[in-house]
Each structure stands twice: as C-alpha cells, then as structure tokens.
Chains A and B, each alone.
Chain A
Amino acid sequence: MNTFIISAAVVLLLVIFFLLMRVGSLLSILKGSYSKRVGSSNSINAAMFPIFFVVGLALIFWYSGKASEFYLPKSASEHGIITDNLFWLITAIIMIAFIFTNTMLFYFPYKYQFNENRKAFFYPDNHKLEIIWTIIPAIVLTVLVIFGYKTWTDITAPAPKDAIVLEITGKQFNWIVRYPGKDGKLGTYNYKLIDATNEVGIDFSDKSSFDDFLPREIHIPKGRPVQFKIRARDVLHSVFLPHFRQKMDAVPGMPTTFWFTPIYTTDEMKSITGKSDFKYELACTEVCGKGHFGMKFLLVVDEPEDFEKWYGTQEAFLKKNPDYLANVPLEIKSLAIK
C-alpha cells in the first residue's frame, strides 16, 4: 500500500511538473519572448554566476576553517614537514590563481550580459597580453618544479647506512613484517618456499635468516632513519603511512623501498593530537581485491631505548617453528640451533 501511495505521488508530481512546463512555454509564446533575442531569463542567469561564486567562496573559507583539525594529520616524519610546507605553499598559490581567474570568469557574464543597444568589442587577439600570460605561469611553474625536484630527490635518495631495516610483504589481505634479528641482515627468500606458516618464503639455507623475526606490529625508534623493504606475494598492494607522508607500491617480483625518520613517538602523538588511543596506522592504497579496505597494520614509534628492549625480546621465527629446522642444510644446522 505504501509503495502504491509513493508511486502515485511521484506520478502526480511528474504530471504537475509537465503541465507547468507546458504552461510556461505557452506563456512565453503569448508574451512573444521567443521572437526577442533574449528573454528575461538572460539577466537572471547572468546574475546567478557572481552569486554562485561569492556564496561558494564563502562556503569554502568557512569550511576550510571549521574542518582544519580534520584534514592533513600532523606530520610525524622529518621529510613530511618539508612536503607539508610545500603543499601549503602551492595550495596558497593555486588558491590565488583560482580566485583571480574565477572572479573574472563569473563577473564578466554579469557585467557583459546581452544588451540590444550595445555591440561586443571586436578583439581577436593581443600578442603582448598572450605572451604575458604564457610566461607568468611558466615562471611560477619552473620555481615550483625546482622546489619539488629538490624535495623529491631528498626523499627518494638511498637510505642512510645506519637505517633500521625491516621487510613488509603484502598479501590478500594483510601485511607480514619481518625484521633481520640481531645480525642486522634479512635472510634471503624464495616465493616457492611459501606455505601457511612460512608466509614470506624465508630460505633457511641462508644463515642470516636464522634470527629473523615476524612481529604482529611494527616498532621503530624515534629519530633514526627507518628503511622499509617492500614486497608483494600475490597482487599489487601499496604501503601507505599517512602520518609519515610515505607511500610505495608493493609489486610481486619487484622489491621496492622507502625510508623516513620518525620524529614523534606514539606517546608524544597522543598528547599532540589529544587522543589517548592514538595509533599509527598503515593502510593499503592499491586496489587488491575484496578485502582491500581492511588491510590495516599498526605501527609503534618508541623511544630508542624502548625500541632496543623490544627488539631484544622478540623470538626468532625458527625458534617459534622448530619444524623448519628440517630445511636447514646439515653443515650449518649447529648455527641454527644455537
């Protein structure tokens, strides 16, 4: 019954709407507005443009102020501060260009709306003007490219030698993190060795793999460069650390990497953001299937000494899963058992 009433109401509305349109056209014919160059709607449309612009601009400024605490979370990495500054600088420049061009674009229709007694100004070109508005954007863009180039090369430069290294592997639909253990060297891997337990295919014929450990969340120390070695097991994924302004695709068959230096511990971020439950999060940003939106992993930034403590207490994969000792070649088995 309800459906019937709703559909009847909709049909009735449409009929009324249609009749209004017909009446409108008939009125226009009677008034003779079709025989004139423009009807009264011309000035209404002309006025709508500046109104739209002023109201729209007011809304933009109002909302940008109101919501400022929600967008662009505070940067927690060294290079993030630089990219944030660059972002706001360019945003300011494009806002100026936006306001300047749109002001003209929306004011001219109002100012130069049709008038029977006026003729438009025949003005096919002006080379000086055209050269000016070619060169000014070119100069501004060159400056921006130089800033961007400098920042980009700094961020993508090879990781410092003393960086903490960890490996992160994306799979449908979670992340697996591996640390090199006490020897500071990640063991080699082979995707053909992957099984339900050895999820990243660690190759135990390499002795640097013996002390590798796979924790449930990432820990990194504050103030030291950290390098992520990124892999994917099945399809493309992408490691995104919004607070650290870092992102890199995880590609099957092609290891990738990024590095950054965290500047606030998780506890410091709690007081900075005022959220007692603040956590650094890692998200996937390359569509990878049904569970793409659920690939969350947690990351903790510790004070360096807390990090060392945590690192020391982690148990190696091989210790936790002694079955894999069978894969260790005989001649180095003694090293593995130790």
Chain B
Amino acid sequence: MSSIAIELEKSKVHDHEHEHEHEHHELNFIQKYIFSEDHKVISKQFLISGLIWALIGGSFSILFRLQLGFPDANLEWLKPILGEWIQNGKLDPSFYLALVTMHGTIMVFFVLTAGLSGTFSNFLIPLQIGARDMASGFLNMLSYWFFFASSLLMFVSLFLETGPASGGWVIYPPLSALPQAMSGSGLGMTLWLCSMAIFIISSLLGSINYITTIINMRTRGLSFTRLPLTIWAFFVTAIIGVLSFPVLFSAALLLVFDRSFGTSFYLSEIYIGGEALHNMGGSPILFQHLFWFLGHPEVYIVLLPALGITSEIIATNSRKPIFGYRAMIGSILGIAFLSFIVWAHHMFVTGMNPFLGSVFMFLTLIIAVPSAVKGFNYIATLWRGNIVFTPAMLFSIGLVSLFISGGLTGIILGNSALDIQLHDTYYVVAHFHLVMGSASFFGFMAGVYHWFPKMFGRMLDERLGYFHFWMTFIGVYLVFFPMHYIGIAGFPRRYYSFTSYDAFSTFSDLNMFISAAAIITFSAQLVFGFNFFYSIFKGRKSTQNPWRSNTLEWTTPVNVGHGNWVGEIPSVYRWPYDYSKPGASDDFIPQHIPLTSTPESNLPHEIEEAKTEVVQ
C-alpha cells in the first residue's frame, strides 16, 4: 500500500473516531440491552435465542424418538404438557408429524442459521476485521428484531388447536397448500409461511450488513488474503444467503397465493375431501425446484460458518498455521459456487427428466472434491502440532470427524442410481444429521466455548466442557450411525410406526437403542446450559488472550466496550496464522505485530516486505 493511501485511510479513521466521540453518551437500559445497535449485544441476543430454540427443537426430537423407540410405552405422563396430543397414552400421529416438521424447521433455520451465523457473524466480523461496529447498526438491530418477530409467530403456532405446520420442513404442496389434507396445513401453515417470510427479511438484512462490513471496514493492512478463515466463511455464507433466500421467499409467496387466492402455481387435478378442485396446470415439482434452490445452499449456509470457526480454533490450538490457507479459501468458494447447481439431487425420484438426474449426479459428486480438500487440510493442520485440548478444540476435532463420516455417505446418496432405494429412508436422515446437523452444531458449540471469554469476560468451566463434549460426541455417533443400517433396510422417514409392514418389522431393538442414546445426548446438553448461564455470572475471570490467539479480537480489553477498542484501532501486518514460527520466541505472533519488530522470525519474502512496511 502506498503511503498516500495510508494517509487517506488514517484521516478517514480519525474522522470516524471523531464521530464516535460525538455519539458517545449514556444509553438507557432499553437502548443498551434490548433495542441495541451494538453488534456484541445483538450477537448475544441471537445466541441466547438460538440456544432456547435448540432446547425446544431438541426436546421435540426426544418426544418423537420416544414414539419410535418405545412404541408401546404409556405416555400419559406427558399429558400435562401435551394435552390432547396424547390420546390413550399414545402420541397422536398428526402431532408426530408436527413434531418432525417443527424439529426440522427450528433446527435448520432458527438454531443453525440464525443462532450460528447471527451469533458469530455479528460478534466476530467487527472484532476480527478491526471495525468499531457493523456498517449499519440500525439494520443489524432490525435483523435481530425481525428474527424475534418470526420466532414469536413460529412459537405461537405450536399452541394452535389444529397444530403447527406438519407436512415436513420442506412443506411440499399440495399437502401444505390444502387445509383439508391435514390439520397442520390450516392456520399452522399460514403462521409458518408468515414466520419464514419475516425470517428471510431478517436473514437478508443481516447478510447485507455482513458483506458490506467485510468489504468496506477492514482495518489498515487487513487485505482479503490476510483475513481469518472465519471471516472468509461468514463472507461467503452471507453471499449465498443473499442469492438464495429470496428464492425461498418467492416459493413461499406463490404458496400463499395458492392457499389464499385460488391460484394454481403448484396445484393441478386434485380430488380431495369429496370434491374435485378447480386448479389446473400447476406443478408441485416447481415448488420443489424453488425450495431446493434455497434448500441446498442452505446446507452450506449452515455448515460454512461452522467450518470457518473450526479452522480458526484448530489452528490456534494446534499452535500451527492452518494448512493450505489459500486452498481453504478456494474450497470455500468452490463449495459455495457448486452449492447453487446441485439442488435437484434432492429430486431424483420426483419424476424429473432422467437426463437432468445424470447432470445433477455429476455436479453433486464434484462437490466432494473441495470438501475432501478441507478434510485433509484439517488433518494436516493437526499433524506435528502441539495440541491443547480446550473444549472448543475438542468440538472442532469432533466436527471434522462428523463432517467426514457424514460427507462420505453423500457419495452414495448423490449417485442417482443408488438414491432410488435410499431416498427418503433413514439413510438420508443419518447422512444429513451427521454432515450438516451435528457438524454445524459442533461448530456452534466450538464457537461458544472459544469466544465465551470475549463475550462475557469470563471462562466456561472446562471440566463440564469436557464432559459435555464426550457425552455429545459419543452420543451423536450412537444416535446417527445405527440409522445407516435402518436406512439400508429401507425404513422410510417420517413414519409414525413400522409395525404394519413385514419388511420394516426388524430393528425395533436398534430403534430403542437410538432413542435411549438420544435421551442421554440431549440430557448432556442441559449440563452445557447450566455451565453457560452459571459462567456468565460466576465463571472464572478471563485474561485478555486466554487461548494465545493471533486474531484482532484478543487485542480488545477483557470486557469490550462500545466501539471495541479504547483509542486507535490496531493495524494488521501479517496473516492470522503465525503460530510456532521458527525463530520466534513465543509460539504465536498476533496480527497487529509489525514484521519489522520480528526480524528473528521473518521468512524470506517477509524480509522483503518488512523493508517497505510503514508502521502506524
């Protein structure tokens, strides 16, 4: 960078600080903690909302696992909570579908999209790129409150007499379009659609903000090739979101038209409830195309932030640079691009033209290549490291394992010829719960353990963290690995009971085992919940840089105030992964340390750079 440009930058920063001083006046409670425009408060709002949703979504899975694992058990004791949904000591089959649907919706959108991206994009983008806040604090605040409104609608729908939306989280019409097809397609579905429309607005407001902030507000010296991989992941995730969520919005809008205004976008030649409907010429397959055009990128909206978080944590705790930094960026970009052109692999058996099936099989299997690169790079980062097992590190290693295990079965499911048998069976359930659900959840947890000290100025209890990790890691494998066997045997998803089929009459013992494992795994999350809330108030006080990490957020005070840095924002002089550099006295060199002050450890090309380095 030329010195003139630096001067300009500098004056800009001074202007900004000038403004900042003007802004600084005492905020009242509501401005500070509720309608806050501070990215750190907003991220905590997303985090706590996400955790509450995770508890609700998780407990739903326990309820339907009770039905699947112990079909003969008497559930009368749940009557005080579930009321009429328990009939003669059994879960109502309609309610079973409602649970499955809500579990999916909540986990995918409210926990792993809003909870994960909302928390960490908001928290880390300004802190890691050296900005005082997001580009627009107001839009950021709106993003949270739209999410809150959307959560509220979804939550209200749980208490409807006709039940919440029940046609699966993919809400395929005509089932979701016709209230006479199932009770959940009445008011429950209306609320689902309204809630999701508002959710999409929230997501777009957030994403636009993340993109703008990352492009425009990086501190001096922080070029794109020096960005931590977390920021790269959040950046690309936000771009995917901006491009794909509007398509879901349009799909939902057309469904609203079909439901309420008599149009026929998705409906054709239907005879239901004793009458032939007037709708002609629509196509339910159109909805599936539109839905999965978001739905598949959504997988990566959920997964990429988790992978970014993991990259950062694995490098920090292996005390080693992330292996193949540029390849990691390349694979993030490759995965993001490919994620837009593989959607129809969810639709191999919908009656779509078989030739399209071949094309999508080919494109789908290509995505395994950048994914494999990421897996290998994580492993290579661990190799000859000096590994510190913080709970965050454990969850990150767990993520890599789940990502590999779940990703490999994608090679089978992406093969259209094999998908014929496995489509909509438990094999699919096992696959996506490992690669997307659990892996992203592990990324989420890793992030919470790693950045908790920065968020609250206190540490989470480590031993509870270890307990939480091992229970969850072992538990997740015990729950989802056996589902492969059940899936290969052909057991379909979303079945209330298998007893009427001879073909699906086996494996009742394995289903019981899975349910027991799920209950234990879920209980272990309560330990985390306790640790989280207890440590906010009573945890051990954190030091400024507890993990000896390189990135900028650890140069802020322990309890970060509004504006993040007291005084000037630090400049960046190096990439974020200078761990265990030969010649250096310590095993990390933070990004804000100039090359000129570390002549003992500079690499040949850095010695050249150091000659022209201007230290602010």
Shortest Cβ distance from B431 into chain A, in angstroms? 11
B270 — nearest CB in chain A belongs to which residue? Answer: A252
Find out whether the CB atom of A133 lies under 8 angstroms from the CB atom of B372. yes
B contact residues, range: 35 or more
**Per-residue contact bits, chain A 108-148, to B (CB 8 Å; 1 contact, 0 not):** 11001111001111111110011001100110010011001
B181/A172 in contact, CB under 8 A: yes
- Min CB–CB distance B109 → chain A (angstroms): 19
A63 within 8 A of B: yes
A37-B388, A145-B362 as given contacts; A152 in contact with B357, CB under 8 Å? yes
- Compute how far the CA of A61 lies from the CA of B500 in the bound complex, rounded to whole angstroms: 30
Judge whether A253 and B368 touch: CB under 8 Å.
Answer: no
Docked pose: A121 CA to B488 CA in angstroms: 43
A118 touches B386 (CB 8 A): yes
Contacts of B420 in A (CB 8 A): 83, 155, 245-247
B507 to chain A minimum Cβ distance, whole angstroms, is: 6
A25 close to B175 (CB less than 8 A): no
B362 A105 Cβ-Cβ under 8 A: no
Check B181–A278 contact: CB distance below 8 A.
Answer: no
Of all chain B residues, the one with the shortest Cβ separation from A98 is B408
In whole angstroms, what is the CA distance A120 to B381 when docked?
10
A149 touches B389 (CB 8 A): no
A319 contacts chain B at the CB level, 8 A cutoff = no
Give the contacts of A62-112 with B (CB-CB under 8 A): 63-64, 67, 70-73, 80, 83, 86-87, 90-91, 93-94, 97-98, 101-102, 104-106, 108-109, 112
Q: Mark B77-109, 1 if CB is under 8 A from A, else 0.
A: 000000000000000011001000000000000
Within 8 A of A (CB), among B136-151: none
Which stretch (B210-218, B234-242, B462-470) binds chain A?
A: B462-470
**Bound: A114/B389 CA distance, A:** 8
Q: Are B387 and A102 in contact (CB under 8 A)?
A: no
Decide if A87 touches B418 in the complex (CB within 8 Å).
Answer: yes
User: In the complex the two chains form, is B466's CB within 8 Å of A112's CB?
Assistant: no
Give the tally of cross-chain contacts (CB within 8 A). Answer: 348
Q: Which of B377-414 contact A (CB under 8 A)?
A: 377-380, 382-389, 394, 397, 400-401, 404-405, 408-409, 411-412
Residues in A whose Cβ lies below 8 Å from that of B501: 281, 283, 296
For A112, give its contact among B97, B271, B385 (CB under 8 Å): B385
Please determine whether A121 and B412 come into contact, CB atoms closer than 8 angstroms.
no
CA A160 to CA B384, docked complex, whole Å: 60
**A residues at B contact (CB < 8 Å):** 21, 24-25, 34, 37-39, 41-42, 45-46, 48-49, 52, 56, 60, 63-64, 67, 70-73, 80, 83, 86-87, 90-91, 93-94, 97-98, 101-102, 104-106, 108-109, 112-115, 118-126, 129-130, 133-134, 137-138, 141, 144-145, 148-149, 151-153, 155-157, 171-172, 191-192, 194, 196, 201, 230, 233-236, 238, 240, 242-243, 245-249, 251-254, 256-257, 275, 277-279, 281, 283-294, 296
Interface residues, chain B, CB within 8 Å of chain A? 93-94, 97, 167-168, 172, 174-175, 178, 181-183, 267-272, 274, 276, 280-285, 318-327, 349-351, 354, 357-358, 361-362, 365-366, 368-369, 372-373, 375-380, 382-389, 394, 397, 400-401, 404-405, 408-409, 411-412, 415-418, 420-421, 423-425, 461-464, 466, 470, 473-474, 477, 481-482, 485-486, 488-490, 492-498, 500-504, 506-507, 510, 540, 577, 579-582, 587
What are 29 contact pairs spanning A and B, CB under 8 A?
A34-B540, A46-B389, A71-B489, A72-B488, A73-B489, A90-B418, A101-B404, A104-B379, A120-B587, A124-B321, A138-B369, A141-B368, A141-B369, A149-B358, A152-B357, A233-B272, A234-B270, A238-B349, A245-B421, A251-B284, A253-B270, A278-B502, A281-B502, A283-B504, A287-B494, A288-B175, A290-B97, A293-B93, A293-B500
